[in-house]
Chain A
Amino acid sequence: MDELITMTAAELSAAMAAGEVSAAEVTTAHLDRIAAVDDKVRAFLHVAADEALAQAREVDSKRQAGEPLGPLAGVPVAVKDLFTTLGMPTTCGSKILEGWRPPYESTITRRLRDAGAVLIGKTNMDEFAMGSSTENSGFGASHNPWDLDKVPGGSSGGSAAAVAAYEAPLALGTDTGGSIRQPAAVCGIVGTKPTYGGSSRYGVVAFASSLDTPGPFGRTVLDAALLHEAMSGHDPMDSTSIDAPVPPVVEAARHGDVAGLRIGVVTEFSGDGYQPGVMARFTEAVELLESLGAKVTEISCPHFKYALPAYYLIAPSEASSNLARFDGMRYGLRAGTGSAEEVMALTRAAGFGAEVKRRIILGTYALSSGYYDAYYGKAQQVRTLIIRDFDAAFGQVDVLVSPVTPTTAFPLGERADDPMAMYLADLCTIPTDLAGNAAISVPCGLADEDGLPAGLQVMAPPLADDRLYRVAAAVEAALEQRWGHPLLAEAKGLTAK
């Protein structure tokens, strides 16, 4: 492999700043990698080769002219295909938006472009971010670089697979119920769900607006922090954006330390359905934290077991409303003939896949008069109780930890038409989304049964995102010392076959 593609974003940034390599060379190396492996990984829906090289050359000329450049200047970033981008299609993994070129740019991709980041392409995802495997994509599934017969997780599975396959050092995702952390865990990389409102939703195609949170993927904790910092901050274009300083995540990632930190192990996230190898690596990670000086206690959050059912009422309810805009009138697919109403129904039937249809109908049901109080209303009360569980826990400890997802990457096809089995992948990640808190997924080893990666989830209160990076950096440093190399060095999916 070309050395440039195995370097971290931080290393690439330093090498470019020192004049050892140009942004154009860095981008070319990643485009070559995409050309070499993406027919197997299928992480990308669109590769913006010419535009990316043009952005890279612009960075190079600015650098030659002595202009000040930020840490992401010249660093390639893969973008989940639900951020609107000028000059590139935005499909949300859906046939209903196939070929759509949005007329405006999302705040986050605009910020990254302004910072000199090179947007290298758009990545595959479960349609409208609904799913945990990318199998719900209207354009075919992505494959896990550890084992091409396994899912890369989802919904941001294309972004996670791209980073794990060295097609890009960094990628953008969104997390609504676990859509950054679960794919990060099963692909053996780092992914963060920032505090809700900490990263702008302007230009992010809406799934469940009270939950959707854009966030970063990287191969290292520091890389994820660099992207987290660059993409975050108040945005007047998003009325739910928090007007507060971005937590010092990069500083925290550079100083991993858990001495004296109070860490709570969530007791609800273990038992039936949890793969033994995933639990073994999680338990070892907790022991490691203790050996590094953390004070570990067990914490019960009794309402977390209702988070999954509450989520599958709240998220589909919001989705059924948000997705009403796809009516075949102003943009996207238009199918059939007849009255406006007939065309709408035919367009939506032709353009949406099975999971999107399931969730629209489920949400419409939960919001119907007669069912509203028993379903949507009750789920909103459960949401309050989950927030209170977090508040009580964070009164006793600084962060909570759990596995990210109950199993390692599952085989493609295994859960594709079994929605309840698919939903269980988000069991441990959903409470954080419902509460609007921050959480990170950091690799903690390989399960003995299948040799596939498992992730440690660290959860923090709102706007304490820096705590995640402090803990994750300490875990990463200690584990890499133990292993003698980064976990991803053991991924053989692209070399074995």
Chain B
Amino acid sequence: MSITRDEVAHLARLSRLALSDEELDHLAPQLGQIISAVAQVQEVAADGIPPTSHATGLTNVFREDEPAPCLTPEEALSGAPAVEMRRFKVPRILVEE
């Protein structure tokens, strides 16, 4: 079980990580080693065993929908890299054809 440098580059794109060539060269063999190790879970006989996503067994925790104080716009924007007209200013999302 291994992973190629191209696969790592693809996963990095999916993860929105602009990795350098040096980083890809370094990470790909390390990830191959890690994936070989974690693949041990496939040895376990687990047919019919239900999966556990979390341990508390809690489902659908509800509360009353009551108005309560929340962050002011200034507080919510206090850490923003760029602000305009009391809004988060972000780079262009849609590109004109």
Contact = CB atoms under 8 A, between A and B. Distances in A.
A338 interface: yes
Contacts of A435: 55
B61 interface: yes
Interface in A355-400: 357-358, 360-362, 364-366, 368, 374-375, 377-385, 387
A236 interface: yes
A387 B52 CA distance: 9
A368 B15 CA distance: 11
A251 B56 CA distance: 25
Contacts of B31: 358, 361-362, 365
Nearest to B8: A361
Given A361-B27, A462-B55, A382 B81 contact: no
Contacts of A139: none
B52 A345 contact: no
B53 A364 contact: no
Given A331-B80, A344-B16, A348-B16, A242 B56 contact: yes
Interface residues on B, range: 35 or more
Contacts of A360: 15, 17
Contact of B55 (A210, A374, A378): A210
Q: Is the interface of B mostly helix, strand, loop or mixed?
A: loop
A210 B33 CA distance: 25
Contact of A364 (B15, B56, B90): B15
Interface centre among B7, B53, B81 (most CB of A within 10 A): B81
A240 B58 contact: yes
A310 B91 contact: no
Interface string A404-439: 000000000000000110000000000000111100
A378 B41 contact: yes
A361 B93 contact: no
Interface of A: 100-104, 196-197, 209-210, 236, 239-240, 242, 303, 306, 309-310, 312-313, 320, 324, 327-334, 336-346, 348-349, 352, 354, 357-358, 360-362, 364-366, 368, 374-375, 377-385, 387, 419-420, 434-437, 462
Give 9 closest A-B pairs by Cβ, nearest first. A436-B55, A331-B79, A380-B51, A334-B81, A210-B54, A381-B46, A345-B18, A103-B75, A349-B18
